Amino acid sequence: MRPKKTGTYQAAALLVVSGLVAAHQSAVAQNESISMHEEPRHRLVFEHDQFNLVDLSIPVGDTSLYHLHDFPTFWVVLNDARIESQTLGGEWVRQPEERPLRPVGTLVSIDNVTRPPHRVRNVDKDTLHLFAVVHKGFGADVSEDVPEEGIEFDDRWVRARRFKLAGTSSSPMLHSDWPSVVIQATSGQTDVPVGEYSTGIKTVVGGWSWHEGGRPFRLRNLGLNEVELILIEVKI
């Protein structure tokens, strides 16, 4: 005669099964790929029907989830760090040691959205911090666009300019038919006057604000030390 299972035996068996299920679910979750703005370290800070703004921060030793870059993306480096990357199903690949770290304020455009699912981990001694403008629309034909002086980057998705403002100084009046994103690349206190109103007040590296197209504005340094700001016009 086969002995009956006791309540204790059944409870233990249930715990084992539950543990196996949880482990399997965790493994599945690690191998699923998600859109960049759904990955927790790529924090979605603003969503527009034509573009997203994403604040990426990966602490030392941390690893992102597998994710995809669905749309052309324009990056501003706020603090660079050495990373390793791994394509789903592949091996970890470390950035070459001879590649210098990019200075704060470096602009990087990536319009290739065919890269397979991948994840990255920070193998440096400081946090990786980047800010991204993710374009979800069709952009504009550069050949039909008349560039202005001081343009540092210009393609069908965005136009970028860099401003270094001395203490208590302002930029000229700026005009754009497109939405504009202002990102602070050095510490200090700045704002974006629009008419009689002070908007977009920032005090730290990575501070940002966005402004509707068609409304003239200035960039203003409220402090005594020089401050650097990146202006990105999003072509929608």
Please tell me the pTM assigned to this model.
0.84
pLDDT value at residue 33 = 80
Higher-confidence residue of 136 and 21: namely 136
142-234 — its CATH code? 2.60.120.10
pLDDT value at residue 31 = 53
HSE-up (13 A, CA, CB side) for residue 154: 14
pLDDT value at residue 145 = 56
Residues 6+ apart with CB under 8 A from 40: 64, 65
Q: What is the pLDDT of residues 65-118, one digit of tens each?
A: 999 999 999 999 999 999 999 999 999 999 888 889 999 999 999 876 778 999
Q: Is the fold of 34-135 the same as that of 142-234? A: yes
Domain boundaries, the chain: 34-135, 142-234
Please state the separation of Cα 13 from the chain's center in Å: 46
For domain 34-135, is the CATH number 2.60.120.10? yes
Higher-confidence residue of 2 and 141: namely 141
Q: What is the pLDDT of residues 128-170, one digit of tens each?
A: 999 999 999 999 877 555 556 689 999 999 999 999 999 999 9
Q: Is residue 202 a contact partner of residue 189, using CB atoms and an 8 Å limit?
A: yes
DSSP per-residue codes, 119-147: EEEE-SSS-EEEEEEEE-S----GGGS--
Report CA-CA distances (Å) from 109 to 23, 126, 147, 160. 38, 23, 18, 11
Q: Is residue 78 a contact partner of residue 185, using CB atoms and an 8 Å limit?
A: yes
- Single-letter amino acid code for the residue at 206: G
Say if residue 52's pLDDT is above 60. Answer: yes
pLDDT value at residue 7 = 52
Kindly report the backbone phi and psi dihedral angles of residue 191, in degrees, each rounded to the nearest multiple of 5, phi listed first.
-150, 180
The Cα–Cα gap between 119 and 68 comes to 9
pLDDT value at residue 227 = 98
